Amino acid sequence: MIDSIINAFESPLGSFKSESTDSLDYLKGIVRKEMDHAYLCQRHLDMPKSEGSLTMGIVFSGGPAPGGHDVICGILAHLRPQDQLIGFRNGPGGLLSGQHQLISSNDMDHIEGLGGFDFLGTDRTKISTTDQFDQVGSILKALNITTLFIVGGDDSNTNALFLADALFGQCNVIGVPKTIDGDLQFLPQLPISFGFHTATQHYSQLVEQLAIDSKATRKYWHIVKLMGRSASHVTLEVALQVKPHACILSEEIVANGQSLMDVIRYFSNVIIQRYQEKQPYGVIVFPEGIADVIPEFRDYAQGRVDSMNKVLAALDMNPIQLTEVYEDEHGNKNLSTFNTEKLMMDLIQGYLSQKGVKSDAIKMVSHFFGYTGRAENPTSFDSAYSLLLGKTAYELGLSNETGVVVGCDFSNGYIQPVGVPLTAMLTFDSDRSRHVIKKQLVSISSSSYQQYQLAKQQWVQQDVQIPRHQSFEYPHCLGIHQMEDL
Ligand code: FBP
């Protein structure tokens, strides 16, 4: 598989064609009108049409993800002598204020295969007002940039589409799919963003190391929160690899209508079962996103502490005070900095002592694995995939496409780079009263979720084994990995 991705990267530059001759018209005023023309851009092997020189811009947007530097290298590796690439520093905020630098092929020596986004930096500024579009338009014009690559997730690609619409005819805007959360998807043409595989491999290793340590010392329960804001793809992928003794996903909580007490009871019962079997240790895993779906946490995040304090009172625990909860410009809450892992640990401890488990019988340590996964050097898969995404973004630029995000269809057994029209991914968000690109959550009818549900009961009694499990060479969601029996 990785060889096929590399071959696609090394093949000569091709061109992209939309399925209709009026392809470039589909975007005009699209966000204001209806999105009834959404043509997939298919790659062809003939050379791109644009023969003149091109100045292109690139900006990282949102949280870092491993592979961003390889996206740049993917462009640089194919850059024609007459073209140039300008990088905007510090994300969309830096784009708005025109912070830029020329990127040369010499830069590849330093950044290829390097994790993080620190070569250019990033931020989460939302670009949505007419003034902002005009501002970006004049900065791009001054630099003679006629193609802009926005490397980002759902919010950033929402930015990309609105900007493509506003700058139609002046500058093409092309998205490159990034996010460790794995929630930017459009099946089958865009099954995965870069960064997801590396982050989940990184977290899997850390969680497995806790499992190994706890098995050796038989002393601690490790309560682990994993990054992944709305969707639980990260936790699901880690769980399928490491098989923690207990795990819960946000989508599972919603599907089962579970309350905070239901979740505490579930975790505590696993601990009690293992305690009775003389295994007073283990690993519990959950995503940070549970804070957005468990009703008591949601209330808490919205500044209401009563329902949380009712649960605490029921467990004979002291009430808590509100900590600061804020939202970024796109409406995302700071769930990573929310100390849910510690709170969950205390709640479980409270429940156990109510059930008569002595406080020294079960010792717990809480953990949060998040930011480090975004800085890890990309896996072979992410590195090859990001290079291909960069090359494909460049080909789309040469083909004069706009309002598309780079995709790659793996579903037919071969690698098919495509351009996915961002309009096809839009949805109306009634909470925010605007069109946005929808985050794709874990589907409870997906085969990964079904496997997880079938297996998790068995994990309660299982410990890590020697020899260790094989790490997933490819993201599980692509369905092309060799999976051991669960
Ligand atoms: P993106 O969607 O921008 O890729 O970011 C995802 C993420 O890593 C989430 O998993 C996490 O909740 C969030 O970023 C943390 O953001 P911040 O860096 O603003 O604390």
Q: Which residue has the higher pLDDT, 89 or 401?
A: 89
Cβ of 228 less than 6 Å from ligand 1: yes
Q: Indicate the domain borders of the chain.
A: 2-195+378-429, 199-374+443-464
- What pLDDT, in 10s, does the model give residues 37-55? 456 888 887 777 667 899 9
Q: What's the predicted TM-score (pTM) here?
A: 0.93
- Cβ-defined contacts of 327-334 (< 8 Å, 24+): 328/124, 329/124, 329/125, 329/126, 330/124, 330/126, 330/155, 330/158, 331/431, 331/432, 332/124, 332/155, 332/229, 333/229, 333/291, 333/292, 333/301
**Does residue 32 register a pLDDT over 50?**
no
Residue 85: Cβ within 10 Å count: 22
Measured in Å, residue 344 CA sits from the centre of ligand 1 at 21
Q: Which CATH class is domain 2-195+378-429?
A: alpha beta
Residue 62 near ligand 1, beta carbon < 6 Å: yes
Whether 229 lines ligand 1, by a CB cut-off of 6 Å, is yes
Ligand 1: residue of 117, 151, 286, 332 to mutate (most ligand atoms within 8 A of CB) is: 332
User: For 371-422, what is each residue's pLDDT tens digit?
Assistant: 999 999 999 999 999 999 999 999 999 999 999 999 999 988 889 999 998 9
Give the nearest ligand 1 atom to 184 CA.
2
Indicate if 181 belongs to the active site. Answer: yes
Give 199-374+443-464's CATH code, choosing from 3.90.950.10, 3.10.110.10, 3.40.50.460, 3.40.50.620. Answer: 3.40.50.460
Nearest-CA residue for ligand 1 atom 16 is: 63
Catalytically annotated residue among 107, 123, 155, 181: 181
- The pLDDT assigned to 83 comes to 96
pLDDT at 480: 62
Are 2-195+378-429 and 199-374+443-464 equal in CATH topology?
Answer: yes
